[in-house]
Amino acid sequence: MYALREFLTIPRNGFKPSKSLSLALSLVLLYLFVTMGLPFLSKAAGFSEEHQLIIDEKIEAGAWFYIFVEQIRDIEPRVTHSLQYSPGMEEEGQ
């Protein structure tokens, strides 16, 4: 971004883009990176299948704390049931 600003502020034939233009252009580039760049990178890295699975399952892969992840609400009781309250587990194990 620093490079972008420097590039934009180099005078060319008397034309010097304003700082506001730099900001607008940066925002457009950011938008394009997200909408086109990220899907492309996903393919290029060979992560398409995995990323599609994450999208289909609606996982907030960037969510950093467990209460922000919807799936945790189902996972927790499921694990508790499997370990503590699974019917007949003891009999089956014997």
Partner 1 sequence: MSNSTNLKSKYSFLLKFEDYWAIWLGAIILILSMFLFFANPPANMDKIIADSNATMQAEAEKAPFKTIAWLEASDAKAALKGTSASLAKSVSKYFTVPGSWSSDNPLKSFFLSESDAKAKSAASAEKYEKAKVATTEAKATAVQAEQAASAASFQDADLNKEAKTKIAAWQKAKADAEKAKSAAETKPYNHITTMIPLMIVLALLFGIGKHFMGESAGKFLVAFPAVFIVAALSFFIGGHEFAKAWGLEYVMWAIILGFLVSNTIGTPKWIMPAVQTEYYIKTGLVLLGATILINKMMIIGIPGVFVTWIVTPVVLITTFWFGQKILKIESPTLNMVISADMSVSGVSAAISAAAACRAKKEELTLAVGISITFTAIMMVVMPLMIKALGLNPVLGGAWIGGTVDSTGAVVAAGEILGPVARDVAATIKMIQNIMIGLMAFCIAAYWALKVDVDKSKADLKVSSAMREIWNRFPKFVLGFLGASIVFTLIYAGMGSDSSKVLIDNGTSSFLGSLQKWFFALAFASIGLSTNFRELSKYFKGGKPAILYVCGQSFNIALTFTMAYIMFMKVFPQITEKLMQ
- Residues near partner 1 (CB under 8 A) are 1-2, 5, 19-20, 22-23, 26-27, 30-31, 34-36, 38-39, 41-42, 45, 47, 50-55, 57-69, 71-83, 85-89, 91-93
Q: Which is nearer to partner 1, 16 or 72 (CB)?
A: 72
Shortest Cβ distance from residue 83 to partner 1 (Å)? 6
Sign of CA dihedral 46, 50, 56, 62: negative
Shortest Cβ distance from residue 15 to partner 1 (Å)? 17
Whether residue 70 contacts residue 60, with contact meaning beta carbons closer than 8 Å, is answered with yes
Give the whole-angstrom CA distance, residue 50 versus residue 58. Answer: 12
Residue 78, both tokens? 């499921």
